[in-house]
Amino acid sequence: MISLAGRDILHSWGKFVLTGLGLGLLIGVTFSMAGVYRGMVDDAEVLLSNSGADLWVVQQDTLGPYAESSSIPDDVYRDILGLPGVAQAANVTYLNMQVRKGDTDVRATVVGFEPGKPGEPRYLAAGRRITRSHYEAMADVMTRFHVGDRIRIRRHEYTVVGLTRRMVSSGGDPMVFIPLKDAQEAQFLKDNDAIVNGRTRIAANAALNRPGVPGMLDAINALQASNHNVNAVLVRVADGHSPEAVARDIRRWKHLQAFTREQMDEILIAKMIGAHSEQIGIFLVILAIVSAAMVAFIIYTMTLGKIREIAVLKLIGTRSRTIAGMILQQALGLGLIGFVVGKIAASLWAPFFPKYVLLETGDAVRGFAIVMTICAIASTLAIRAALKVDPATAIGG
Amino acid sequence: MDKNVGIQIEGLSKRYGEGEAAVDALRDVNMSVAPGEVVGLVGPSGAGKSTLLKCLGAVIEPTRGRMTLGGEVIYDNGWKIADLRVLRRDRIGFIFQAPYLIPFLDATDNVALLPMLAGRPNGEARARALELLQALDVAHRAAADTSELSGGEQQRVSIARALVNRPPVILADEPTAPLDSDRALAVMRILNQMASQYQTAIIVVTHDEKIIPTFRRIYNIRDGRTFEEAGEGRALE
Amino acid sequence: MNIPKTLPRQVWFGLIAIALLLAFAWGIIRSGPLAPIQVTVTKVAKGDVASTLFGIGTVEARRAYLIGPTVAGRVRSVLVDVGDSVKAGQLLAEMDPVDLDARVTSADAATARAGSAVTTAQAQLDDAKSRQALAASEARRFVDLGRKGFVSQSVVDGKLQQQQSADAQISAAESALASARQDLARQDADRVGAKQQRRNIRLEAPTDGVVTSRDAEPGSTVVAGQAVLKFIDPASLWVKTRLDQSRSAGLRLGLPAQITLRSNALKPFAGKVVRIEPISDSVTEERIADVAFDRIPQGVSANEMADVTLLQSGVTGALIVPNASLRYRGAQVGVWLRADGQLRFVPVKTGAEGMDGKMQIVEGLKVGDELVVYSERDLKDDSRIKVVDSLAETAK
């Protein structure tokens, strides 16, 4: 027995392939949407893994440093270092801001880190690590900066000396790493007008501006301009100690909160990405319905165009089952073409998305099963129509 | 009864609808066609020709009567055959007004489809198809796509299809309607040839004046009743 | 008996299907988790490490002065302004003498009066002395008479008592004289002091320098210790440089320096470390070194920011790797070694680091070892890698 479905497809392959292409692009969009969601989750995982930290110590009663802002003094890390089970404790700052290069600016998360400690990028994609204590930066490739570029962050210019890959914030902004002190200054120092304003106000205050105490005014101004806060302390727990136990120790201090990796996962994925995942889920459902409708329509139309042949086939003795099978096979074939085109298209255009798109094999397999199921269901409309055909209609008159 | 005794119809009636609106398409029709015989079925449109074919072709159920095909009682006030589809596939050949070939199969496969549906292996089915195409003088177009065949060639392929399963009965519905006189006569020639070669009983529904003279026997159908007539029986070379 | 009727079309379709499947497979292999990780590699070689220290600093004057009065007063005149060069001893400003002149006069008068008091006291002493002489001689005479019985004992006692009283009067007069002398000395000292104060209202430059700030205008009242003018010795300008404590190994006096002023980034100046502050900043965790210019640049201003690079002697013939190849496993620093197609994490001990990113390896590697420099992702022991020249997205 020959394959009626195969012959039909071969005969009108142009129409089939074009339809498959259209369906494929739709499926490609679906894969990309799923990939965007996976990418967001991966961004969060990568952010947590690349920090090299086992614990995140932040301001009490906050969900920082990524989900909420958190501010703690920068000498707290010394006390944390003294706790049992703490191998390394490092200050870090995070700030979302525009980083300027020439005439353009890029939205980035500026990270203040200390070399050799958690918070520093674990691997580079180009260039070298920072060797000077100020005014050098490492940037992620998604900023589109290159080694040697001069970029401007707040008041100072930095030279990009190294490039990283997959260093993005939980919101998907690429990261730029600068020495901690520079980052503290960038984060907490006000702009010039505000500083001048502040100085004038302090100078007008007679209690602070004492003529008999030279240098007092300068000291107070220096205090206003200095910054000794950071957003978090990243802690690496020593081998053989449990992060939760160390976190409990830290939480006992009244003004600090400490999160383990699992808790940070929950915060980032459940809370920050949660709303996105719902949106994407709705999109996926809509796309699935549209795809199903498309397949149903195409197959139905193709079947209607063959009504006469189907009547003849039935008359000359073809089983209804065979005819139904032919229609089903065509729908599945369409689905297969669509799936292959969709997967290829999604892989091709994924790098052009501004966010990271992660196309997982598991998703592809699931997608294949869903596409096939949808095609099978969509073909039932056409199959019903075909089964209703009366073979007597082949005999005219 | 002899296994292959062609077509026997006794007292066949078909009523559509009920009560006041009922229409008697066939009233007590009697017909018989011997194996190897080609009879014509003529009559004005609406007289019941198609209905009779449909009953014979086991696609509609008569109201009452008796039908015997190839020695087998297929209907006796009720279907006597379990699987009408298999009956149609193996015991009846259909030739339609238009060739009605499957457009996505080539000439050979259009014909070979029937044996394949009957379960024969592809090679054998194709061999048989080729045989018939040769007999009908279209073997040189065996690999051609349906759309590449001329009207006459398609017609011959459809005749080959009707014959390929060696059915005892062939029902032809206006097979020469779109053809010119030469072609029409050629078709009749082929039909007569095939009928005598394979001992098939053939009913040809027609109102084509060009071929009516070629029948030896004609059944005239009017208002659902049939009347047997002698035909001219003009010779076909 | 396969008659190739539809072969051409089927062949086409088959080819397209195969092409699609290959593209599909490419899609799976190239992107996604099955793909091997792209890395670049390099070989360990011997080379030189030019180690330098880096810090940022502000230009400050080593010697800066506050010029102001020693007592509260009113400014009478300010003779120089910001930016003026002054010479040692030059009069910069003057305070209002107010009552100082009157006080000097009063001090003079007080001294004179004290002098007169001394004279008076002297005279009184002389007088007391003469009376004492008389009383003494009378006492002697009456004692003699008493002995001879010419006068009664009570008369003798009386005369003796007169002599004692006259003695006492001499003591009193002597001490009164001493006190009058001391008073004179005091008034004199006061007078000298008042004169000195009168001189102090002249504010003079202690050395050559440049005025940096003018803080009080004529007519303003200033208290003791408040500055009327500030000025610096511009020859003493140096850069107070802050270096990260953790990156200040090898900081010593005399290290040659390259100073890049924020105001003139293109032209660095030469200098050297002249002092290392004994007290570091524990809050910012920085050491402070003072770097002097070899030649003080024109037009440099105090409090200007500068980047300072200190050039150390460096290391020659050392095993070097790019610092980008260093990875951390926990606290352990090491590199990913590629040997016999296998990937292995090798802990190393590092030495000097150059500003250009070259890192000296003291222990753990040998010349010719091939190690991973850049990678697309974090590496693990079982990662599959693919060596490329440079990672895709980093190309210009």
Report pLDDT for A233: 93
Domain co-membership, C310 together with C382: no
Give alpha helix (H) positions in chain C: 7-30, 100-148, 153-200
Placement of tokens 């984060």 in the chain: A187
Whose structure tokens read 């952010």? A47
Q: Which two tokens stand for residue C7?
A: 């072969």
Q: Examine residue B119 and state whether it is found in any structural domain, yes or no.
A: no
Q: So what's the pLDDT on residue C28? A: 66
How close is the nearest chain C Cα to the Cα of B145, in Å?
Answer: 9
Q: Which CATH number covers residue B48?
A: 3.40.50.300
pLDDT > 90: percent of chain A: 25
Instruction: Write the CATH number for C269.
Output: 2.40.30.170
User: CA nearest A96: which of A85, A83, A105?
Assistant: A105
CB contact, 8 Å: C1 with chain B?
A: yes
Q: Are residues A283 and A383 in the same domain?
A: yes
Rounded to 5 degrees, φ, ψ at B12 are -80, 130
Please state, in angstroms and rounded to a whole number, the distance separating the CA atoms of residues B154 and B164: 15
Tell whether C14 is covered by a domain. Answer: no
The pLDDT tens digits for A382-395 are 999 888 988 888 77
Per-residue pLDDT of A345-375, as tens digits, reads 988 888 888 788 888 888 888 888 988 898 8
Query: Using one digit for the tens of pLDDT, what is the confidence trace for A32-48?
Result: 988 888 888 888 888 88
* Distance separating alpha carbons of residues B143 and C80, to the nearest angstrom: 114
**What share of chain B in percent tops pLDDT 70?**
98
- A78-91 residue pLDDT tens: 889 888 889 999 99
| Mean pLDDT value across chain C | 85
Distance of alpha carbon C225 from alpha carbon C254, whole angstroms: 37
3-state secondary structure of C101: helix
- How much is the average pLDDT of A312-319? 86
* Same domain assignment for residues A117 and A246: yes
Q: Are residues C301 and C181 in the same domain?
A: no
CATH number at residue C223: 2.40.50.100
Query: Is-contact C283 C318, C-beta < 8 A?
Result: no
C249 and C224 part of one domain: no
Contact assignment for C13 to A13 by CB distance below 8 Å: yes
d(CA A181, CA A156): 12
Average pLDDT on C9-29 reads: 74
B71 in Cβ contact with B201 (< 8 Å): no
Contacts of A4 in chain B (CB under 8 A): 104
In angstroms, the first-to-last Cα distance of chain B is 34
Chain C residue with Cα closest to A162? C324
Residue C4 neighbours by CB under 8 Å, 6+ apart:
none
> A223 pLDDT exceeds 80?
no
pLDDT band of residue C395 (cuts 50, 70, 90) is low
- What CA–CA distance (Å, rounded) separates A12 from B103? 10
Q: Could you tell me what percent of chain C has a pLDDT over 90?
A: 20
One-letter amino acid identity for B17? G
CB contact under 8 A, A312 and B102: yes
Question: CA-to-CA distance for B65 and B76, rounded, in angstroms?
Answer: 6
Judged by CB atoms closer than 8 Å, whether chains meet at B143 and C5 is answered as: yes
3-state SS record for chain A: CCCHHHHHHHHCHHHHHHHHHHHHHHHHHHHHHHHHHHHHHHHHHHHHHHCCCCEEEEECCCCCCCCCCCCEECCHHHHHHCCCCEEEEEEEEEEEEEEEECCEEEEEEEEEECCCCECECCCCCEECCCCCCCCEEEEEHHHCCCCCCEEEECCEEEEEEEEECCCECCCCCEEEEEEHHHHHHHHHCCCHHHHHHHHHHHHHCCCCCCCCCCCHHHHHHHHHHCCCEECEEEEEECCCCCHHHHHHHHHCCCCEEEEEHHHHHHHHHHHHCHHHHHHHHHHHHHHHHHHHHHHHHHHHHHHHCCHHHHHHHHHCCCCHHHHHHHHHHHHHHHHHHHHHHHHHHHHHHHHHCCCCCCCCHHHHHHHHHHHHHHHHHHHHHHHHHHHHCCHHHHCCC
Phi, psi values for residue B129, rounded to 5°: -60, -45
Give residue C288's pLDDT band: very low, low, confident or very high (50, 70, 90). very high
Chains contacting B (3 or more CB pairs within 8 Å): A, C
pLDDT band at C356 (very low <50, low <70, confident <90, very high): confident
Mean pLDDT, to the nearest integer, of B116-142?
88
Name the minimum distance, in Å, from the CA of A214 to any CA of chain C. 7
Task: Give yes or no: residues C147 and C125 share one domain.
Answer: yes
Residue C378, in any domain of the structure: yes
- Work out how many domains chain A is built from and give that number: 2
- Say yes or no for a CB contact (<8 Å) between C226 and A211: yes
Residue C146 has pLDDT above 90, yes or no: no
C10 confidence band (pLDDT: 50, 70, 90):
low
Residue B153 resides in a domain: no
Residue B141 placed within a domain: no
CB < 8 Å to B100, chain A:
308-309, 312, 394
Domain that holds residue B38: 7-16+23-100+167-230
Residues A81 and A174 occupy one common structural domain: yes
pLDDT at position C7 = 57
In C, which residues are within 8 Å of B123 by CB distance?
1
CB contact under 8 A, B174 and A396: yes
Q: Cα–Cα distance between B195 and B158 in angstroms, integer?
A: 15
Question: How many C-beta atoms surround the C-beta of residue C242 within 10 A?
Answer: 23
pLDDT at position B2: 46
Report the number of distinct structural domains present in chain B. Answer: 1
The answer to whether the beta carbons of residues C177 and C93 sit under 8 Å apart is no
Same domain, residue pair C92 and C220: yes
pLDDT at A210 over 70: yes
Which residue in chain A is spatially nearest to C378 when comparing CA positions? Answer: A123
Find the angle CA(B5)-CA(B7)-CA(B13) to the nearest 5 degrees.
145
Task: Kindly tell me if the per-residue pLDDT of A167 is higher than 70.
Answer: yes
Length of chain C: 396
Number of folded domains that form chain C: 4
Predicted confidence (pLDDT) at residue A185 exceeds the cutoff of 50: yes
C7 is a domain residue: no
Pair (C181, C105) in one structural domain: yes
Q: Are A33 and A116 found together in one domain?
A: no
Mean pLDDT of A167-194: 85
Together in a domain, A111 and A244: yes
Instruction: Return the residue of A nearest to B52 by Cα.
Output: A395
Residues 209-238 of C with CB under 8 A from A: 222-227
Task: Note whether residue C68 is domain-resident.
Answer: no
Check pLDDT > 80 for residue C200.
no
Give the pLDDT confidence score for residue B120 in this predicted structure: 87
pTM score? 0.70
CB atoms within 10 A of CB C48: 15
Confirm or reject contact between C379 and chain A (CB < 8 A).
yes
Do the Cβ atoms of C374 and A125 come within 8 Å?
Answer: yes
| pLDDT at residue A69 in the model | 87
Residue A96: phi and psi, rounded to 5, are -85, 125
Residue A109 lies in a domain: yes
Residue B109: closest C-alpha in chain A: A2
Are the Cβ atoms of A146 and C225 closer than 8 angstroms?
Answer: no
Tell whether C18 is covered by a domain: no
Beta-carbon pairs below 8 A across chains B and C: 12
B161 domain-assigned: no
Cα separation of A290 and A284, whole Å?
Answer: 10
Report which of residues C164 and A351 the model is more confident about.
Answer: C164
Residue B134 lies in a domain: no
Q: Token digits for C146?
A: 């008493």
Q: Are residues C110 and C193 in the same domain?
A: yes
Cβ-Cβ contacts under 8 Å, B108 against chain C: 3, 5
> Which two tokens mark A107?
């939205």
ipTM rounded to 2 decimals: 0.84
Q: Are residues C124 and C188 in the same domain?
A: yes
C284 half-sphere exposure, CB direction, 13 A CA radius: 20
Name B145's bridge partners: B106
Mean pLDDT of all residues belonging to chain B: 86
Rounded to whole angstroms, the Cα distance separating C291 from C271 reads 6
Mean pLDDT for the stretch of residues A285-301: 87
Q: Looking at the structure, do residues C360 and C378 belong to the same domain, yes or no?
A: yes
**C3 shares contact with chain B (CB less than 8 Å):** yes
End of a domain among C199, C216, C251?
C199
Across residues A188-207, what is the average pLDDT?
79
- pLDDT (0 to 100) of residue B4: 58
A:B CB pairs within 8 Å: 82
- A321 domain residue, yes or no: yes
What is the share, in percent, of chain A residues with pLDDT greater than 70? 99
Strand, helix or coil for residue C311: strand
Distance from the C10 Cα atom to the nearest Cα atom in chain B, whole angstroms: 13
- Gyration radius from chain C CA atoms: 48
User: Residue A316's closest chain B neighbor by CA?
Assistant: B89
Q: Do C3 and B143 touch (CB under 8 A)?
A: yes
Q: Which of C231, C250, C271 is a domain's end point? A: C231
Whether C142 is in a domain gets the answer yes
Q: What is the mean pLDDT of chain A?
A: 87
A291 shares its domain with A370? yes
Ramachandran area for residue A172 (φ above 0: left; ψ -120 to 50: alpha; else beta):
left
Q: Do A13 and C284 touch (CB under 8 A)?
A: no
Q: Which helix (H) or strand (E) holds C231?
A: strand C229-232
Q: Give dist(CA C136, CA C142) in Å, integer.
A: 10
> Within 10 Å of residue C161's Cβ, how many Cβ atoms?
12
Distance from CA of B33 to the nearest CA of A (A): 20
Kindly report the number of other CB atoms within 10 A of residue B142's CB atom: 19
> Strand pairing partners for C203?
C93
Cα–Cα nearest to A186, from A108, A76, A257, A89:
A108
| Cβ within 8 Å, pair A163-C66 | no
**Confidence band for C1, pLDDT divided at 50, 70 and 90:** very low
Q: What pLDDT is attached to residue A148?
A: 92
Cβ neighbours for B6, distance < 8 A, ≥ 6 positions apart: B32, B33, B34, B35, B36, B37, B70, B168, B169, B201
Q: Residue C302: what pLDDT? A: 84
Chain A: residue whose CA lies nearest to C9: A10
Inside any domain, residue B172: yes
Cis previous bond, A65, omega within 30:
yes
* CA of residue A258 relative to chain centroid, distance: 24
pLDDT of C27 > 70? The answer is no
A95-134: per-residue pLDDT in tens?
999 999 989 989 999 999 998 889 899 899 999 999 988 9
- Nearest CB neighbour to C355, from listed A116, A122, A132: A132
Q: What is the pLDDT of residues B87-100, one digit of tens each?
A: 888 888 888 888 88
pLDDT digits (tens, 9 = 90+) for C36-56: 888 888 888 888 888 889 999
Identify whether A217 is part of a domain: no
Distance from CA of B176 to the nearest CA of C (A): 30
The answer to whether the CB of A24 falls within 8 A of the CB of A341 is yes
Distance from C-alpha of A167 to C-alpha of A175, rounded to nearest angstrom? 6
B106 to chain C, any CB pair closer than 8 A? The answer is yes
Q: What is the mean pLDDT of residues C385-392?
A: 81
Which range of residues forms the domain containing residue C111?
Answer: 100-199
Sheet with C229-232: strands ordered across: C64-67, C229-232, C209-214, C85-86
The CATH code of the domain that includes C362 is: 2.40.420.20
Task: Tell me which residue range forms the domain holding A165.
Answer: 61-189+227-254
3-state secondary structure B124-186: HHHHHHHHHHHHCCCHHHCCCEHHHCCHHHHHHHHHHHHHCCCCCEEEEECCCCCCCHHHHHH
Q: How far is CA A9 from CA A19, A365, C10, in A?
A: 12, 25, 11
pLDDT of C224-266, one tens digit each?
Answer: 888 889 988 888 899 999 998 888 888 999 999 999 998 887 8
Do residues A309 and A345 both lie within one domain? yes
DSSP-assigned letters across all residues of B198-225 = HT-EEEEE---TTTGGG-SEEEEEETTE
Would you say residue C22 lies in a domain? no
Q: C280, C314, C348: which is the final residue of a domain?
A: C314
Q: CA of A310: which chain B residue's CA is closest?
A: B102
Residue A7 and residue B173: Cβ atoms within 8 Å?
no
